[in-house]
Amino acid sequence: MTPGEIIMQILSLAGAAVIFLYGMKTMSESLQKLAGERLRRLLARITSNPFRGIITGMGVTAIVQSSSAVTVMLVSFVNAGLITFTQSLGVIFGANIGTTATAWLIYGLGFGTTFNIQHLLLPLAALALPLLFIRKAKNKAFAEMIIGFVLLFTGVLFFRETLPAIDENFALFHQTFFPDNFYLNTFSFVLIGIIVTLIFQSSSATIALTMVLASQGWLTYSAALAMVLGENVGTALTANLAAIVTNRAGKRTALAHLLFNVAGVVWVFPFIGIISNALAGFTTLATHAGNSIPLGLAIFHTLFNIINTLIILALFLPFSKICFALLPEQKSTAKRFSLKFLSINLLSTAELNILQDKKKLADFTKIISEMFTIVSSLLNEKVDRKFAKKHKTLRHNYKTVKETQQEIDVYLHSLSQEQLTPKGGAHLKAMAQINENLADMAATTIKMAQVIEHKNDAKAWFSQELRNKLTHSLQLIPEALAHKNGLADGGFSNPTDSPGNRLRLYLESLSQEPDALTTQIASNAASHYQQLLHLIVTSDELVSRVDAAALKLYENIPLRNNQTKNKF
């Protein structure tokens, strides 16, 4: 081959890889749109039971079509405190098994002798075309899934057609660049599998390429199996690179994924020759001397991950202790978590990462509830030194609130740049406004503290009845905020019996004091309460709009309807 022909060959292979990867990306993201809400509920219910975690990991990975993407998503969840490190382990194990579904799909439709997908690709694309022009989001997502499927297998076909027939020059090349020692030679292909997977950022793409290379005679059975081992390690390294910016718990989750796959390579590698001979014999019989290596790779990929999972499950506690020993807990555990939208650049998991922001908003609400508790204590604090200390704590919390609000805004903006379903977009818009409302509530606590300080400086005294009403109202606010969090989690209830509605009952009587000075101060307090009530009820309404059934509960409730600006 001339240098020009070699360059064209390399570019053709790269083009086939691009078509495959884009097809996988399109299919994965459209499947997330179709199943996003159900997947979010599934991920939100992850427990410490590793067996349930394995099932969850298998299901999510079979849809997302990338164990790297699922692991990166898990890392971000652990980083955000949505799930614990221990809870993530089962999902990691399941993700490694779930990713083998892609290998079987590629083998069955791309290499199987009983069915040729090639003749159906163009008709499938034609059937998807009308769905693209239907405005309904689910129909469009379904069409994108079909187109992604078509592109994925078009990439596989181009791989097969682009690779030239093997000749004696390859044997000379192999002898020149690869060592004669069997284990050194095999290990070199493990490294190649790692490098190619890091480049593609997808083990599915690498295993498709490996199947094509092996079926065309470019790889021996043992070399192909070694590349599969490398692909498992490479996909774990991708998650570790993404986890660099996370906290210690997030890094530990990515490390567990890497250790899981490295441990598998360590125990399988010495037996690679025996395994390749056994698989060669079995698959030759199964395919009647046909194209047997792709079938062997699919079997090996599945058995490797299942057996490796069973081994690590049997050693679950020692395995988790090793991870903690390598990355122990930091001494300071009081530090707030930071929102991180992690991505492996190839696949978007924004639809599922909405869960992170729900967690952050819930924690945000707790900070503001604490601020109202401080305001309540200021109302009854008579010692100047203690009053000043509590007031300082309140201002410090307000600074934290402003930082958190900005962090959530940045995170929501990064999510809004990704492809989301209309419902996912509605979640983002609602959470953006709730985020702003919560910050306004925090600002109101500062104003209320100033009202109390003014009352103390003026030596004005509230009657016991008014003091009781103010104290009780301040106690109702954290309850109303907790009710809002319940709405965000999907627990809808009758708003007429909500704490926010009960808070409304105390507002009218706050300014009925006989003394003019206390009447003015109480009126100021009532004004701040009214503002708070509006913010709480508006937040509840925003959350309810995400769910049509919940919205019906709110239709008969009078709310001041201000125009909220959509940031995204």
Is the pLDDT score of 312 beyond 90? yes
Confidence of residue 6 (pLDDT cuts 50, 70, 90): confident
Same domain, 502 and 425: yes
CB 364 within 8 Å of CB 408: yes
Same domain, 126 and 169: yes
Confidence of residue 274 (pLDDT cuts 50, 70, 90): very high
Calculate mean pLDDT across residues 389-416. 84
Confidence of residue 97 (pLDDT cuts 50, 70, 90): very high
CB 555 within 8 Å of CB 418: no
Q: How many CA atoms within 13 Å lie on the side-chain side of 90?
A: 18
pLDDT score of 116: 67
Same domain, 159 and 226: yes
Domain of residue 227 covers 3-326
Same domain, 8 and 98: yes
Same domain, 468 and 393: yes
More confident residue, 92 or 502: 92
Same domain, 310 and 358: no
Cα–Cα dist 527/431, whole Å: 25
Domain-located, residue 560: no
Q: Is the sign of the CA dihedral 204, 210, 216, 221 positive or negative?
A: negative
Range of 304-308, 363-367, 423-427, 458-462 with top mean pLDDT: 304-308
Least confident span in 283-287, 399-403, 532-536, 544-548: 544-548
Count Cβ atoms below 10 Å from residue 521 Cβ, excluding itself. 22
Task: Give me the percent of the chain exceeding a pLDDT of 70.
Answer: 68
Range of 82-86, 449-453, 517-521, 554-558 with top mean pLDDT: 82-86
pLDDT score of 185: 86
pLDDT score of 519: 45
Crossing angle for the helix pair 100-110 and 137-162, to the nearest 10 degrees: 70
Least confident span in 114-123, 260-269, 468-477: 468-477
Cα–Cα dist 232/257, whole Å: 10
In SS3 terms, 512-557 reads as: CCCCHHHHHHHHHHHHHHHHHHHHHHHHHHHHHHCCHHHHHHCCCC
pLDDT score of 136: 78
Cα–Cα dist 317/498, whole Å: 45
More confident residue, 240 or 292: 240
Cα–Cα dist 185/202, whole Å: 24
Same domain, 175 and 77: yes
Domain-located, residue 435: yes
More confident residue, 231 or 330: 231
Cα–Cα dist 232/532, whole Å: 53
pLDDT score of 377: 83
Domain-located, residue 563: no
Range of 59-68, 267-276, 500-509 with top mean pLDDT: 267-276
Count of residues for the chain? 568
Calculate mean pLDDT across residues 355-364. 71
Domain-located, residue 332: no
Q: Is 121 exposed, middle or buried (0-12, 13-18, 19+ CB in 10 A)?
A: middle
Same domain, 300 and 362: no
Domain-located, residue 336: no
Domain-located, residue 314: yes
Residues 25-59: pLDDT tens digits?
888 778 777 776 677 667 666 666 888 889 888 98
Strand ranges (E), 138-186? none
Q: What is the largest CA-CA distance in the chain?
A: 105
Is the pLDDT score of 265 beyond 50? yes
Calculate mean pLDDT across residues 192-209. 87
Confidence of residue 490 (pLDDT cuts 50, 70, 90): very low
Domain-located, residue 197: yes
**Number of domains into which the chain is organized:** 2
Confidence of residue 269 (pLDDT cuts 50, 70, 90): very high
- CATH code, 441: 1.20.58.220
User: Considering the entire predicted model, what is its pTM?
Assistant: 0.70
Same domain, 422 and 363: yes
Same domain, 115 and 219: yes
Helix ranges (DSSP H) in 336-463: 350-379, 384-416, 422-457
Same domain, 157 and 272: yes
Confidence of residue 475 (pLDDT cuts 50, 70, 90): low
Helix (H, G, I), strand (E, B) or coil at 247: coil
Residue that is written with structure tokens 């000075």 in the block: 517
Is the pLDDT score of 264 beyond 90? yes
Same domain, 173 and 29: yes
Residue that is written with structure tokens 């009078």 in the block: 558
Domain-located, residue 217: yes
pLDDT score of 281: 87
